[in-house]
Amino acid sequence: MRLADLAGLGRSAGLALMACMAAPQAVQAQAARPNILFILADNLGYGELGAYGGGATRGAPTPRLDRLAAEGLRLTNMNMEAQCTPSRSSILTGRFAIRSGTHSVPFGGVADGLTQWEVTLAEALSAQGYATALYGKWHLGSSNGRLPNDQGVDEWYGIPRTTDEALWTEAPGWSPEVMPPEQIMEGHKGEPSREVKVYDIAERRLMDAEITRRSIAFMEDQAEAGKPFFAYATLTQPHLPTLPNPDVAGRTGHGDWADMLAEMDHNVSQMLDAVDRLGIRDDTVVIFASDNGPEFVQPWDGWAGPWRAQYFTAWEGGIRAPFMVRWPGKIPAGRVSDEIVHGADIFPTLAVLTGAGLPHDRPIDGVDQSGFFLGGTERSAREAIPIWCAERLQTVKWRNFKVHFYEQETMVSPALKLGVPLLFNLYTNPREEKEKVAIDSWIIGPVLKVVAAFEQSVAEHPLIAMGTPDPYVPPQ
């Protein structure tokens, strides 16, 4: 959405987007490079874990994840992008996905995923001597040239796209001649990836246990070799179909969804136990997060806790996600913060903590949060987030306020462009419910500065269109 399209609101003076955010905290990289275990759940809502008000209230306590939350920093205002592909793109590139041609979950027939021109966190860490692995869901390209081992990952195993494709093999009328099934794949850097087997319902139930097993084996190998590692365990749960491992099915007595939650807690427990057993607890940054808000599709729909709506929307329920980070002796334990953070901040923050570099030839939207994470300041390094739903700049979040330029209730609802934006103070109206009188209209000023600044950056660095093939060369 262009600023000129915001009916009747005028054009604000252009400022650099970063000027709308606090200056990054300068933190020297540690002499000893920490390992990174990053566990990313798929469509886990804000309210699902015990530490966020769920757990037993969702049919299954989550004691190990709750303990992890208490062992470091737990964020209550971590914001991801509204869909799986864009959130994973912003995490790995430090750039809003609208810039990279990854603003929407792709369907067949296009060159889906990141162009090879993008620089990923895995590439930056690899250049620093890290061993890198991804096990699980990728969703940033589904053919050789755009798979994890083409983007800085030494080895990977998992699915290139998404879990709902596991339903195809049991769908009436489906045939592989009409639409080939999704394949579980594996690959190594410098080699083409290969297809391993069909990703069907049976394999869907087994996938997260295999992700856990492989992640542990990778950490064991690197610990034995004395090499720092980046283990990216991208779980497939609770994405639809939310079906637990057969070994867990029926354990809670509260159905598949609760069984899945118990399985997730168990899998995370196994990975954390491995970190302790290998004697690398104090040398390992552990992150657990979700990629966006909860499932919308019944009967697998999830829960966003106190927030409105689910993924694919700009409501808080679509973008607020659980996030916890532990680094014993570095990140203070038992800390909870409602400071605003975005998934794009993960790359620059980890770059500082590990001494990795960031590219300087493109806009990096993420900001370094290392000072905030390490307890050097109580304030986040940012105060604003533009929020896209697909290609629409739908909302801007600034401090504790939000301005919606479109209204879209669910992922299948039309996006209605508003003649007058909806304004919300999240402290007094956390459910983003309509008010008869907008008393906070002054926030339009700083919000439009954010929009204008982004437009200015796009004029200097044009967006990459979705479906752009390789090789991509940015225009001069």
Active site residues: 84, 139
At 423, list the tokens: 């304004």
Q: In whole angstroms, what is the distance from residue 280 CA to residue 37 CA?
A: 11
**How many other β-carbons are positioned within 10 Å of the β-carbon of residue 49?**
29
Q: In whole angstroms, what is the distance from residue 313 CA to residue 30 CA?
A: 38
Residue 416 burial (10 A CB sphere; 0-12, 13-18, 19+):
exposed
Beta-bridge partners for 183: 198
DSSP 177: T
Q: Please say whether the beta carbons of 241 and 48 come within 8 A.
A: no
DSSP 14: P
Tell me phi and psi for residue 243, to 5 degrees: -125, 125
Q: Please say whether the beta carbons of 163 and 138 come within 8 A.
A: no
Tell me phi and psi for residue 401, to 5 degrees: -115, 155
Query: Quick check: helix, strand or coil at residue 144?
Result: coil
At 100, list the tokens: 């990279």
The DSSP string of 106-141 is --TTS--S--TTS--HHHHHHHTT-EEEEEEE--S-
Q: In whole angstroms, what is the distance from residue 423 CA to residue 401 CA?
A: 7
Quote the longest CA-to-CA distance of the chain: 63
Q: Please say whether the beta carbons of 343 and 365 come within 8 A.
A: no
Close Cβ partners of 115 (under 8 Å, ≥ 6 residues apart): 100, 101, 146, 464, 468, 469, 470, 471, 472
DSSP 237: E
Residue 22 burial (10 A CB sphere; 0-12, 13-18, 19+):
middle
Q: In whole angstroms, what is the distance from residue 158 CA to residue 160 CA?
A: 7
Close Cβ partners of 372 (under 8 Å, ≥ 6 residues apart): 25, 337, 339, 341, 378, 379, 380, 381
Residue among 269, 372, 204 nearest 37 (CA): 269
